[in-house]
Amino acid sequence: MRTFRDAKLMARALRAELAQAGIDVSHSRVLEIVAAQFGLPDWNVLAARIGEAGGASGSGAAFQAAIPILRIFDLAKAREFYTGFLGLSEDWEHRFGPDFPAYLQVSRAGLILHLTEHHGDASPGGNAFVWMQGLDAFHAEITGRGYAYAKPGIDTWDLGSDDMREARVGMRVMEVTDPFGNRLRFAEPLPASRRDDVTPAAGAERRGGVAPGGEGDPGPGTLALDPDKLGTFRAAVMEALAEAPGGLFPADLADRVRERVPEALQGGGLRWWVTAACFDLEAGGSIARHTHGRMQILQATPGAV
């Protein structure tokens, strides 16, 4: 008897049977039908269930979720951020002796992170990607704690088309940066939408308000940025850098720009527009990019503000 682990095989068989009957159904639609047969709301939930089930491969190997190791320098600040701000629990702490660096584990609802003061374990400026559900509730929870050093928002990322599923792939992402330059991207997938159902605005942000394939589309590999929107982001970037003479890390700059840009202009990937504005300003000599260790700092050039 087949189980949900056989879902993709079931979808292929169903599509083949329907094709023989003269019924043309897309692969993505068949996946949604199979998910409904298991009593689940959509394919994303079923795919997560398959991933959780895991199981051994043909060689006998089996894997569990990877655990990011993040470099920290100050244990008190790390605890303030990870347990106080993000609400994770500290599971254990290890030291080789009384005056040795700490290595600890924090976790919450399936997420496990290792934090280390050992210089050989990891480099600062790491990046961890975390799939999750309930992003809005989590965002409301942490922003309500009044943590002074991070004011994250939620961006929508349109990743384009997934040819295997004949759907557009998208997610909502909240990125937070810890006191040591490590970034955590909490992401919740958007429901898959058929290509034909994607509104022009969903794809227009990548080409400045022109839907791909529509009138005025400059074609693949080119960008036609909305000059008014770009100008708004340029001004917000310069204002933020003017208040930080020492410069800002890109993630911190994006957070400050978010406070200055009207909410109506923040769709389509706020960080993408901040990046575009920075490249434009850098090309004009208004800002400079410096490397600090493995991290970059953006700074207004003298006389530009």
pLDDT given for residue 157 in this prediction: 77
pLDDT given for residue 212 in this prediction: 38
Q: How far apart are CA 3 and CA 18, in angstroms?
A: 21
Q: What are phi and psi of 121, to 5 degrees?
A: -80, -40
Q: How far apart are CA 283 and CA 131, in angstroms?
A: 35
Q: What is the SS3 assignment for 251-282? A: HHHHHHHHHHCCHHHCCCCHHHHHHHHHHHHH
How much helix, strand and coil, in percent to the nearest 5, is found in the chain?
Answer: 35, 20, 40
Residue 108 in contact with residue 90, Cβ under 8 Å? no
Condensed to tens digits (0 to 9), the pLDDT of residues 266-288 reads 665 677 788 878 888 888 888 88
> Which class for 304: exposed (0-12), middle (13-18), buried (19 or more C-beta within 10 A)?
middle
Q: What are phi and psi of 297, to 5 degrees?
A: -125, 135
Distance of alpha carbon 280 from the chain centroid: 24
Positions of the chain with pLDDT lower than 50, given as ranges: 1-2, 56-57, 161-168, 193-224
Question: What pTM, to 2 d.p., does this model score?
Answer: 0.51
pLDDT given for residue 209 in this prediction: 36
pLDDT given for residue 88 in this prediction: 95
Q: Using CA atoms in the order 263, 305, 209, 194, what is the torsion angle rounded to 10 degrees?
A: -60
Condensed to tens digits (0 to 9), the pLDDT of residues 116-158 reads 999 999 998 899 999 998 999 999 999 999 999 888 988 887 6
pLDDT given for residue 217 in this prediction: 37
Q: Please, where are the H alpha helices in 172-243?
A: 200-204, 227-242
Nearest residue to 28 via CA among 144, 164, 154, 128: 164
pLDDT given for residue 219 in this prediction: 39
Q: What are phi and psi of 222, to 5 degrees?
A: -125, 155
